Chains A and B, each alone.
Chain A
Amino acid sequence: MTDHEKTGYIFNIQHFSLHDGPGIRTNVFLKGCPLRCRWCCNPESHALLPEAAFDKSKCILCGACSLGAKEPAVRFEHGEKVIDRTALHANGERLALVCPTGAISLYGEQKSVGEILDEAERDAAFYSRGGGGITLSGGEPLFQAEFATAILREAKRRHIRTAIETCGHVPWETLREAAEHLDYVLYDIKSLNSVSHKEQTGVGNEQILENFRLLCEHFPALPKLVRTPVIPEFNEHEALEIKAFAESFPNVTFQALSYHTFGVKKYAMLGKTYTGYIKNTN
C-alpha cells in the first residue's frame, strides 16, 4: 500500500489555525491517545474509533432519532432532554445521519492520507506566507504511528511544511521516524515530577523526558516549542522549572498555555465525566 492510500481515524480538519506552529496552518486531528489528562479539552480524541455524541442544546426533540421504532433515542424527562446511551452507542452512525440539527454527531471518520492532504492542500495559498503548513494534532498523532508518518512523508513529497503536536509518550523509534519528516515540533511537557504526572495524566513522565532529550540530540536543527498547560493545583509551581529545563536545550522555545475549560461540555455530550480542575468563578 502506498502512503497515499493508507487510512486512519481523524476527528477534524481545522482550517486557518493561527496558534499551532508558524504561519497559517491546517490542523489535522488524529484520534486516539495514550494519556488521559484530567483537564483534556478534547475528550472525543481519546478513543481510536469513532464515537457518537449528543448535544442537547441543539436538540429540538423532533423524534427523527426513533429510526422507525416506537421510541426516539432522545426523550424528554423531568424537563431534560435525555439520550439513550445504549442506542447511541449501538447506532451512532445512523443516528448522526438522520439527526437534522446535528445534536447527534459522530466524532471521527476513517480517511486516507491522500484525502487528507488533498483537503489540506486547498489552503496552500495561505501556507506560502509566514512559514505555514499542516500540523498533526490529536489525541496523540503518533498513537496511529504508521498513519501519521505516512501523512508527514506524503506532505513532504508535496513540499508542504509539517509540524506535530505531541505528548511524547510513544516509543522513541516512532518519534524518530516522524521527526525525519518534520519542520517544527510542539512538544508538551506537563510536569517534571513523575508521580504527580502519573496521577494527572495516567502515565509517568520518564519516556516523555527521555524522548525529548533524544529528539534534541538527534535533531538539533529542528525547532521545538515546549508547551506546558498550566493547571491549577498541579503544575502551577513548576512552570518556571519546566521552562528552565526546556531552554537548557538548543533551539527550544517555551510557551505556557493558560488553563481553560472549553472542553467540559464535550464530556457531557459523550456521556463522560470531567475530572479536571474547575475554578470557582462568579
Chain B
Amino acid sequence: MATVIYSSQEQRLQKESNSGATGSRVSALLEQVRAARPAIDIERGKYFTESFKQTEGEKLILRWAKALYHYAANASVYIDDGQLIAGRIGKGIRYGVLYPELDGDILGEAIASIASRDTSPFDISEKDKGIIQNDIAPYWKGKTFHEALAKAIPADTKPLTYNNDEEFTSRFVVNETASFRSSIQWVHDYEKPLKIGFLGIRAEAKQALFALDEFNPVHNNENKPFLQAIILMADAIILWARRHAELARKKAAAETNQTRKAELLELAEICERVPAHPARTFHEAVQSQWFIQLFSRVEQKTGTIISNGRMDQYLYPYYKADLESGAITPNKAQELLECVWVSMAQYVDLYLSKAGGAFNEGYAHWEAVTVGGQTPDGQDATNDLTYLILKSKRDFPLNYPDLAARIHMRSPRRYLYDVAQTVKDGSGFPKLINDEEVVPLLLAKGARFDEAYDYAVSGCAEVRMPNKDTFTSPCAYVNFAAALELALYNGKMLKYGDEQLGLQTGELEDFQDFNSFLQAYLAQQKHLLKHAFIQQYHVNKLREHHFAAPLSSALNAVSVAAQRDIHTEFIPGGIDLGYYECIGYATVIDSLAAIKKLVFEEKTVTATQLKQALETNFENDELLRQRLLRTPAYGNDDPYADDFGKLIDKEAIAFTEGYCKTLGVRLDLRYVPFTSNVPFGKVISATPNGRFAWAPLSDGSSASQGSDKKGPAAILLSNFHTKNYDRSHRAARLLNIKFTPGSIAGKEGTQQLVNFIEGWRDLKLWHIQFNVINQETLLAAKKNPEQYRNLLVRIAGYSAYFCELSSDLQDDLISRTAHGAI
C-alpha cells in the first residue's frame, strides 16, 4: 500500500487536533482570534456619519479629514492583553467596520440578515442594529456611491450590471466592483512616515500652504483644502496614537504583574512617540507602520488591500541597527512581527452586498507583505529580515497577512530554498511574483527603472509603485463565459430568459462553419467589453465626488506634489494603471475547442444535439458530456486548445489598446478572480466543455477543474503559450498549482520545487501559488469541520480556513486536480 505523506500543516493538525497553541504569547493571542466569530463594530460608521452631518457643503477632502479627527478624538482604543503592539478598531476579537459612504443605502437591509448569510456572516447586537437603522443608514440614503453609480450607468449597460431590484444586486455578467470598496488594491509609501514622522509630513504641508499664491483661484479651491486636510489628518493620527499611550499608562497603573507593567510602560512611550516622530527602533517602526495601516482602514474601505509593501526593505534599517546595538534579538523581532500579524487577522473586511461577500469568501483580506526581489538600482534585495519573515510564516500558521515573495534571475539559492520550504509547510505561503515579467511590463507602461524595480505586491496578484501609481478605481469583472453563452443563444442567456443581453449573432445551429461561430463569440466578447468600459467611465468620473483620502494622499509622492487627493480622476505626474478582469478563461477555451472538434471537424455531434444537451443540463446526454470532456483542453500544453486562449487574450487586449486612451487610464487585461469564479458560474448554464449548469467557472488562468491531465509543467506551458508577450496591455495572471505533499517530500522534493519555480520564472509568468495538500484531507475536512478548523488552504490570492468556505467553494477546491507524485 502507498503511504500517504502529509504536509507539516496536516501533521500539525493531526497532532494537535484542534489547537495550534504552544503556550507562547502570540499563540495565545492567535487562539482567541481563531475561536471568535466576526462581529460588527459600528464606531467608524457612527463617527463618520456624525461628522459628515456637520460638514455638508465643504470640500470633500476636508470633510474626510474632519471625520478622521472626530473619530480619532472619540473612538474607543484598545490594547489586548499580552500584546506588544497597540491598536484595533473594533470591540470584538475579530471585527468588521462600517463604511456607509460606500453602500450605506443597503446597510439597513443587509444588517438584518448578515448573521445568517452563507458567505462570510457577521454577528451584531440588537442595540447596534438600532443605531445603524435609525442614525446611520437614513443619513446616507440617496448619497452613496453605490446609488450614484447605479443611476449613472446608462440604460443599455445596466441589464448587464445589475438585477432590476432595489439593492442593485449583481448580474455577474459585466460586474462592477467599485461599490463594494473605495479603492483598488494599494500600497503606501511607509518609508516616509517612518523617516520623518507625521509631524514632518505636517510641517511639509504647512510650508506648502505658505507657498501658495493667495490670489490664485485654483490654489484657493483645490490646493489649499488639500494641504489643510493633510495637516488635520496628521493631527488626527497623532492624537489617536497618543490616546493609545494614555491607555497603556492606565493599564500599567492597574497591572500587578511587573513584567507586563514594564511592557505597557514601554508601549506607552512608543505610542507617545510614533507615528508623530521618526521611528528610532524596530519596535517603534513596527508600531508606527501598524498605526498607519490601521488608520488607513478607518479612512476608507480598502477591501483591506492597502498592502504592507516591502516590509523587509523599509523595516530593515531599524532591525539591523537594533541587532547591532544588541537592543533586539531575531526571536524578539519575530515576536513583534507576529503581534502585528495577529492584529491584522483581527480585522475582517465586511462586505455588505452579496456580491462582495461572494467575491471574497472566507473573510478574505489582501494586505500583502512583499519580500525579496530587487532594490531600486537592480541589486538583489534579500536581507536577514527577508528570512525572518519567511521563518515567521513557517512557525506561525496564520493566514494574515498574505505573503508575496518576489523572484528574479539572480535570487540567491538560499532564498529560493527558503521560499520552497515555506511553500511546503502547507499553508500556501508565499505566493510568488516574477520580477522578470513585472519589471519590463512596468517599464513598458511608463515607469522608470528605479520605480519598476521597487514595485510592491499589492492585493492578491497585482503590483503597485507606491510613489508612481495614481489610479485607485476598482474595476470591472467581465464574465467571458457569458459571452460564450450569448454566442450560443443569439444574444440571450438561459438564466435571464428572454432578455436580449447580447448581440443577435444567430443560434448555434445557424453557423455554417466554425469560424463564423468563433467570430460571433468574439463579437459578444467585444460587446461585453464595450459595456465594461462604459461602466468604468462612470466609475472613474464619479469617484472623486464620493471619496477622499488625506492619509493615503499624504503617502503618495505624486499626490503630494500635485496637491490633489489620490482619488482625483487624473493627477499629473502619475501613471494610471487599472485593469479589467476575465472570468472563465479556460471554460471558454475548452468550450470553443469542443465545438470545433465535435460539431465542425469530426461532425459526430450536430449543433442541435449539442444545444439540446446544454439546455437540459445534460440530463439525458451523459454520453455526449463524456465526449465533450475528452476534447482538447487548456492546461495540457495542447495548441489545439491553447490557440483559442491566445486569440481571446489578444482580442481583449486589442480592445483596451484601442479605447483605454479615451478613458485616460490603462485598463489592462488580467485573470485574477478571487473566489468570484463561483458566483460568476452561478449565472452560466451548461457549457460545451461538459461543465454542468451553475457550477463554478474555471479560476484565473488555471485549467478547468479536473481537465489538466499532464501535470503542472503543462499548465505553466499553456499559460506561456496563451500569453501575448508582444503586447503591454496585460496585467496579472493568477495561477494555482496543487501539489500533494508526497510529490515534493524531503530534501529532493524541495530541490524539485526550486527547479519548478525556476522554470516558472524563466517562462516569465506573472504569479504562482501552491496548495500542498492531500485531497483526502480536504474531503475529511469537509466532512468533519470541527477537527479541521485550523486547516488553511490557498484560494485565489490568499489563504483561508477551509471550514469557513462555502460548500460550493470547498467542492471546487477538492475537484481541482491534485498533482501527485509521478
Spell out A's residues near B (CB within 8 Å): 14-19, 23-24, 27, 60, 62, 64, 100-102, 122-123, 125-126, 128-130, 132, 258, 260-262, 279, 281
Task: Assess the A24–B822 pair: CB atoms within 8 A.
Answer: no
Task: Assess the B623–A62 pair: CB atoms within 8 A.
Answer: yes
Task: Assess the A281–B763 pair: CB atoms within 8 A.
Answer: no
Q: Which residues of A contact B118 (CB under 8 A)?
A: none
Given A101-B626, A122-B637, is A24 in contact with B755 using a C-beta cutoff of 8 Å? yes
Distance of A126 Cα from B759 Cα, bound (Å): 5
Task: Tell me the nearest residue of chain B to A63, going by C-beta.
Answer: B623
Main secondary structure of the interface of A (DSSP, over half): loop
Distance of A128 Cα from B819 Cα, bound (Å): 21
Task: Assess the B626–A126 pair: CB atoms within 8 A.
Answer: no
In the assembled complex, the CB of A253 is this many whole angstroms from the nearest CB of chain B, namely: 12
Q: Which residues of A contact B754 (CB under 8 A)?
A: 129-130
In the assembled complex, the CB of B625 is this many whole angstroms from the nearest CB of chain A, namely: 9
Interface 9-residue window, one of B708-716, B767-775, B781-789 = B708-716
Task: Assess the A16–B755 pair: CB atoms within 8 A.
Answer: no
Distance of A132 Cα from B2 Cα, bound (Å): 26
B811 at interface by CB-CB < 8 Å: no
Q: Which residues of B contact A126 (CB under 8 A)?
A: 713, 755-756, 759
Task: Assess the A261–B711 pair: CB atoms within 8 A.
Answer: no
In the assembled complex, the CB of A59 is this many whole angstroms from the nearest CB of chain B, namely: 10
* 8 shortest interchain CB distances as A-B pairs: A16-B711, A130-B755, A126-B759, A16-B713, A100-B627, A129-B758, A101-B626, A129-B755
Contact of A132 among B712, B755, B762 (CB under 8 A): B755
Of A27, A130, A132, A281, the most chain B CB neighbours within 10 A belong to A130
Task: Assess the A123–B713 pair: CB atoms within 8 A.
Answer: yes
Distance of A15 Cα from B819 Cα, bound (Å): 12
Task: Tell me the nearest residue of chain A to B623, going by C-beta.
Answer: A62
Q: Which residues of B contact A102 (CB under 8 A)?
A: 626, 630
Q: Which residues of A contact B714 (CB under 8 A)?
A: 15-16
Task: Assess the B717–A122 pair: CB atoms within 8 A.
Answer: yes
Given A24-B752, A129-B758, A132-B755, is A16 in contact with B710 using a C-beta cutoff of 8 Å? yes
Task: Tell me the nearest residue of chain A to B822, going by C-beta.
Answer: A17
Of A100, A102, A260, the most chain B CB neighbours within 10 A belong to A100
B1 at interface by CB-CB < 8 Å: yes
The 19 sampled A-B contact pairs (Cβ below 8 Å) are A16-B714, A17-B822, A18-B743, A18-B749, A18-B752, A24-B756, A24-B759, A27-B822, A60-B622, A100-B623, A100-B624, A123-B713, A125-B716, A126-B713, A129-B755, A129-B762, A260-B1, A260-B2, A261-B1
Q: Mark interface residues in B533-577 (1 if CB within 8 Å of A CB, else 0).
A: 000000000000000000000000000000000000000000000
Given A24-B756, A125-B762, A126-B755, is A281 in contact with B1 using a C-beta cutoff of 8 Å? yes
Task: Tell me the nearest residue of chain A to B755, going by C-beta.
Answer: A130
Task: Assess the B626–A100 pair: CB atoms within 8 A.
Answer: yes
Distance of A281 Cα from B3 Cα, bound (Å): 13
B821 at interface by CB-CB < 8 Å: yes
B751 at interface by CB-CB < 8 Å: yes
In the assembled complex, the CB of B768 is this many whole angstroms from the nearest CB of chain A, namely: 13
In the assembled complex, the CB of A105 is this many whole angstroms from the nearest CB of chain B, namely: 11
Contact of B2 among A62, A125, A128, A262 (CB under 8 A): A262
Q: Which residues of A contact B749 (CB under 8 A)?
A: 18
Task: Tell me the nearest residue of chain A to B714, going by C-beta.
Answer: A15
Task: Tell me the nearest residue of chain B to A262, going by C-beta.
Answer: B2
Spell out B's residues near A (CB within 8 Å): 1-3, 622-624, 626-627, 630, 637, 710-714, 716-717, 720, 743-744, 749, 751-752, 754-756, 758-759, 762-763, 819, 821-822
Task: Assess the A15–B752 pair: CB atoms within 8 A.
Answer: no
Q: Which residues of A contact B637 (CB under 8 A)?
A: 15, 122
Task: Assess the A60–B1 pair: CB atoms within 8 A.
Answer: no
Distance of A279 Cα from B3 Cα, bound (Å): 14
Task: Tell me the nearest residue of chain B to A62, going by C-beta.
Answer: B623
Count of chain A to chain B residue pairs whose CB atoms are closer than 8 Å in the complex: 81
Distance of A209 Cα from B821 Cα, bound (Å): 30
Q: Which residues of A contact B630 (CB under 8 A)?
A: 100-102
Task: Assess the B710–A15 pair: CB atoms within 8 A.
Answer: yes
Contact of B1 among A14, A15, A17, A279 (CB under 8 A): A279
Task: Assess the B822–A18 pair: CB atoms within 8 A.
Answer: yes
Q: Which residues of A contact B712 (CB under 8 A)?
A: 16
Q: Which residues of A contact B623 (CB under 8 A)?
A: 60, 62, 64, 100
Task: Tell me the nearest residue of chain A to B819, going by C-beta.
Answer: A16
Distance of A18 Cα from B758 Cα, bound (Å): 15
A23-B752, A62-B626, A130-B751 are known contacts; what are 5 more A-B pairs with Cβ within 8 Å?
Answer: A16-B713, A18-B743, A60-B622, A102-B626, A123-B713
Q: Which residues of B contact A129 (CB under 8 A)?
A: 754-755, 758-759, 762
Task: Assess the B713–A15 pair: CB atoms within 8 A.
Answer: yes
Distance of A16 Cα from B1 Cα, bound (Å): 24
Q: Which residues of A contact B720 (CB under 8 A)?
A: 125
Of B2, B713, B762, the most chain A CB neighbours within 10 A belong to B713
In the assembled complex, the CB of B752 is this many whole angstroms from the nearest CB of chain A, namely: 5
Q: Which residues of A contact B713 (CB under 8 A)?
A: 15-16, 24, 123, 126
In the assembled complex, the CB of B769 is this many whole angstroms from the nearest CB of chain A, namely: 18
Distance of A260 Cα from B3 Cα, bound (Å): 10
In the assembled complex, the CB of A83 is this many whole angstroms from the nearest CB of chain B, namely: 17
Distance of A26 Cα from B637 Cα, bound (Å): 13
Task: Tell me the nearest residue of chain B to A16, going by C-beta.
Answer: B711
Task: Tell me the nearest residue of chain B to A58, going by C-beta.
Answer: B626
Q: Which residues of B contact A262 (CB under 8 A)?
A: 2
In the assembled complex, the CB of A88 is this many whole angstroms from the nearest CB of chain B, namely: 19
Distance of A6 Cα from B134 Cα, bound (Å): 83
Task: Tell me the nearest residue of chain A to B739, going by C-beta.
Answer: A18
Q: Which residues of A contact B821 (CB under 8 A)?
A: 18-19
In the assembled complex, the CB of A129 is this many whole angstroms from the nearest CB of chain B, namely: 4
Q: Which residues of A contact B3 (CB under 8 A)?
A: 258
In the assembled complex, the CB of B601 is this many whole angstroms from the nearest CB of chain A, namely: 14
Distance of A132 Cα from B1 Cα, bound (Å): 29
In the assembled complex, the CB of A61 is this many whole angstroms from the nearest CB of chain B, namely: 10
Distance of A16 Cα from B744 Cα, bound (Å): 12
Distance of A212 Cα from B714 Cα, bound (Å): 36
In the assembled complex, the CB of A137 is this many whole angstroms from the nearest CB of chain B, namely: 11
Q: Which residues of A contact B626 (CB under 8 A)?
A: 60, 62, 100-102
Distance of A123 Cα from B822 Cα, bound (Å): 16
In the assembled complex, the CB of B2 is this many whole angstroms from the nearest CB of chain A, namely: 6
Distance of A280 Cα from B283 Cα, bound (Å): 60
Distance of A130 Cα from B755 Cα, bound (Å): 6
Q: Which residues of A contact B819 (CB under 8 A)?
A: 16
In the assembled complex, the CB of A74 is this many whole angstroms from the nearest CB of chain B, namely: 13
Task: Tell me the nearest residue of chain B to A13, going by C-beta.
Answer: B710
Q: Which residues of A contact B762 (CB under 8 A)?
A: 125, 128-129
Q: Which residues of B contact A261 (CB under 8 A)?
A: 1
Q: Which residues of B contact A19 (CB under 8 A)?
A: 821-822
Q: Which residues of B contact A281 (CB under 8 A)?
A: 1
Q: Which residues of B contact A14 (CB under 8 A)?
A: 711, 822
In the assembled complex, the CB of A57 is this many whole angstroms from the nearest CB of chain B, namely: 13
Q: Which residues of A contact B743 (CB under 8 A)?
A: 18
Distance of A125 Cα from B712 Cα, bound (Å): 13
Q: Which residues of B contact A62 (CB under 8 A)?
A: 622-623, 626
Distance of A125 Cα from B764 Cα, bound (Å): 11
Task: Tell me the nearest residue of chain B to A27, going by C-beta.
Answer: B822
Task: Assess the B710–A125 pair: CB atoms within 8 A.
Answer: no
Task: Assess the B755–A23 pair: CB atoms within 8 A.
Answer: yes
Q: Which residues of B contact A23 (CB under 8 A)?
A: 752, 755
Task: Tell me the nearest residue of chain A to B763, going by C-beta.
Answer: A125
Distance of A281 Cα from B752 Cα, bound (Å): 32
Distance of A125 Cα from B819 Cα, bound (Å): 19
Distance of A190 Cα from B751 Cα, bound (Å): 28
In the assembled complex, the CB of A60 is this many whole angstroms from the nearest CB of chain B, namely: 6
Distance of A129 Cα from B759 Cα, bound (Å): 7
Distance of A191 Cα from B710 Cα, bound (Å): 34
Distance of A126 Cα from B624 Cα, bound (Å): 36
Of B627, B710, B755, B756, the most chain A CB neighbours within 10 A belong to B755
In the assembled complex, the CB of A106 is this many whole angstroms from the nearest CB of chain B, namely: 14
Of A14, A17, A101, A128, the most chain B CB neighbours within 10 A belong to A101
